[in-house]
Each structure stands twice: as structure tokens, then as C-alpha cells.
Structure 1
Amino acid sequence: MLIYKEFTFDSAHFLPNVPDGHKCKEMHGHTYRLRVWIEGKPDPQLGWVMDFAVLKKIIKPVVSTLDHKCLNNIPGLSNPTCELIAVWIWDQLKPSIPAMKRLELHETPTSGVVYEGE
């Protein structure tokens, strides 16, 4: 079974490696939507895969690190594409959430990435 918890955060960034003249080379912002998926079987006693409150407590500090920040200034995110932000988030969360199966990161309502680790 898969469960998920969703979060949003607002951040600014620019993509330093795109060609000159590309609109993403300039500083701009997004309202990101992050969905973290956990895989497991419901606990026979409690009836859930994981307590959503515990999941929120683990994820919230990572989201707070990104929220209302310039992503380029966060160590490990000097080129903060949606794909590399997703990998960065995964790397922050996976040690605390071994059952994490995937994460989705949307930088706009119609654009995003699904990451399932390497």
C-alpha cells in the first residue's frame, strides 16, 4: 500500500547553466508542491502504514529549509533544477524515512518530476 503527504513551499531560484537569454537564467520564483509517498502494510493494531503526524514532523524541517529562500544559496543546490531539488530532498529525507518509495515535486501546476531514488 502507498500513502502520501503533501506540502507546499515558495522559493526563488535561477538556473546558472542555461544559455544566455533563457528566461530561467533570471531570478524567479515558484510555489512548489511536494508529495512524499511511503510504502508499507497497515499495522495490524493501529491500522495505518505510518502516522501522518510523524511523517509531517520529519518532513517539515526540510520544507522549512527551502521555504522563502533562494535555492541557489542552499548547499548542494547551486543549480536548482526541479530534478536536482527532488534529489536533494530525497537525500535529506531517506535516512529518516526508509519506507519512502517516491517523491513528486511540482514547480508549476503543469510541470514537475517524480523521483524514486537511484
Structure 2
Amino acid sequence: MWKAQRFEAATCVADADDTRARLHGHGYRLRVHVTAPLDRVLGWTLDYGDVKAAFAPVREALDHQRLDTIAGLESGDVASLAAWAARAARQRLPELLRVDCYERDGVGAIAWPE
């Protein structure tokens, strides 16, 4: 199953020789994928609210922040952001399978926790 999350943030892409090198913002969309055994009594794997609550500190650490100033996100690119979110979420959500991060429609990255 997956649960979508949104946040707004600004960044600049290190070493870019185009407009990405300037500070700019995005409305990011994260899709948090989890996997767990089906509960035969309840009929589901995890509650969406529990997934949202477990991921909330990760989203809140990113929302309305300048991402390239956060340790591990200095490069400012979406692939680093997806990997950072997957690592951070794994600590709170052991059922995490992967994180999809969309910078905008048609642009994004997928990361699996290490």
C-alpha cells in the first residue's frame, strides 16, 4: 500500500549551470510505500493514519524549508531528497518499502531504504 504526502520547499541545485542553480521552490509530492502481512481479522495491512503519523516528522522536517541547507541534501536534487526521506522514514516506519518523490509532474526519483 502507499500513502501520499505533500510539502513545499525551496532549493538550488549545486553545480548546475542553468536556472536550477538559483533558489527556486517546488510543491513536492511523496508517495510512501509500505509492505506488511495482511491482518486476517481487520482485513488490511496497516492503517493509513498510522502510516501518515509515522511519516509526519520526516515531512515536517522538509516542509517550508530550504532543502539545500539540510545535512545530506546539499546537492539540492530530487534523487538525494528521495534517498534522504527513505532513510529518515525507515527509522520510524520499519514496514517502509520505498519512497517516490515527485518534484513536479514528470520529474521525480524513487529510493529504497538502506
Q: TM-score range by the shorter chain?
A: over 0.9
Is residue 2:103 matched to residue 1:79?
no
Q: Does 1:9 align with 2:22?
A: no
TM-score (norm 1): 0.90
Q: Deviations over 1:44-103 (max 9, x none)?
A: 122111111111111111111111111012122111210000110011011222221111
Provide the identity percentage: 29
Name the residue aligned to 2:33.
37
Residues 55 and 93, structure 2, Cα contact 8 Å, conserved in 1: no
Q: Secondary structure at the match of 2:98?
A: strand
1:51 to 22, 47, 51: 47
Where structure 1 has 5 or more consecutive residues not aligned to the other structure, the ranges are none
- Structure 1 runs (4+) deviating above 2 angstroms are none
**What CA RMSD, in Å, does the superposition of the two structures yield over aligned residues?**
1.2
Letter of the 1:109 partner, please give it: D
In the alignment, the residues of structure 2 paired with residue 85 and residue 70 of structure 1 have an alpha-carbon distance, to the nearest angstrom, of: 12
Name the amino acid aligned to 1:114: I
